């Protein structure tokens, strides 16, 4: 089963995707984690992306797409993909369709975790203390939210007409969100 978790920064995509990875024995495709790992390794890619990441700006499609391509084509991950933070733009959504098509896969569920701006700011300020991410400071949070509204939210139109698209109130408690997701994947 391939799943996309979609929503603004701080919506709880990472938390729910970890739950799903554990439950379904799937593979988490978190582009944010993959990119942070490149920075930690101080790889060529890491050096190219560090300033964009710290400033809350998108990393280029060229880099992000190249990093996920092999994961999607890997036979071990076939039909076991949980996307968290990808796709984040219409061009990425179209590219993902192409990669899935080429590898004979499809998306089984898209969960949109809908959260308002105030809740996002509150949650990310808490996360900043726990994870110490440079892109979680107050100014950067607002910039990331604006980028989400401008570039990522339009992706909803691309998916929302599909019968496998589910909007979930992401302001609820973690357990309640998990239960709601479960109703769609437990059959």
Chain residues binding ligand AMP by CB under 6 A are: 9, 31-32, 35, 52-53, 56-59, 64, 85-86, 88, 92, 135, 144
Please state the φ and ψ torsions of residue 110, each to the nearest 5 degrees: -120, 120
Rounded to the nearest whole angstrom, what is the least distance from the CB of residue 186 to ligand AMP in the complex?
27
Give the distance from CA 45 to its chain's centroid. 20
Tell the burial category of 172 from Cβ atoms under 10 Å away from its Cβ (0-12, 13-18, 19+).
middle
Distance separating the N- and C-terminal Cα atoms of the chain: 13
Could you tell me the smallest distance in angstroms from the CB atom of residue 1 to ligand AMP?
Answer: 21
CB nearer to ligand AMP: give 149 or 179.
149
Residues contacting residue 23 through CB under 8 Å, at least 6 positions apart = 185
- Residue 168 DSSP code: E
Which CB sits closer to ligand AMP, 26 or 136?
136
Q: Which residue is nearest to ligand AMP (CB)?
A: 32
Nearer to ligand AMP, 14 or 109 (CB): 14
What distance lies between CA 135 and its chain's CA centroid? 16
Of residues 91 and 179, the one with the C-beta less far from ligand AMP: 91
Q: How far is the CB of 66 from ligand AMP (least distance, A)?
A: 12
Task: Kindly tell me the sign of the dihedral angle through the C-alpha atoms of 3, 121, 135, 149.
Answer: positive
User: Cβ 140 to ligand AMP, closest distance in Å?
Assistant: 8
């Amino acid at each position: 089963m391939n799943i996309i978790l979609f929503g603004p920064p701080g919506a709880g995509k990472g938390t729910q995707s970890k739950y799903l990875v554990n439950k379904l024995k799937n593979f988490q495709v978190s582009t944010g984690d993959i990119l942070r790992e490149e920075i930690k390794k101080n790889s060529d890619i890491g050096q190219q992306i560090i300033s964009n990441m710290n400033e809350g700006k998108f990393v280029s499609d060229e880099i992000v797409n190249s990093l996920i391509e092999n994961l999607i084509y890997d036979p071990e991950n076939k039909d076991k993909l949980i996307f968290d933070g990808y796709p984040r733009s219409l061009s990425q959504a179209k590219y993902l369709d192409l990669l899935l098509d080429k590898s004979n896969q499809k998306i089984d569920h898209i969960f949109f975790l809908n959260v308002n701006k105030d809740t996002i700011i509150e949650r990310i300020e808490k996360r900043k203390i726990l994870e110490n991410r440079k892109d979680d400071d107050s100014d950067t949070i607002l910039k990331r939210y604006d980028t989400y509204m401008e570039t990522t939210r339009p992706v909803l139109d691309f998916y929302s007409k599909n019968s496998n698209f589910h909007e979930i109130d992401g302001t609820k408690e973690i357990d309640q969100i998990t239960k709601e997701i479960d109703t769609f994947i437990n059959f």
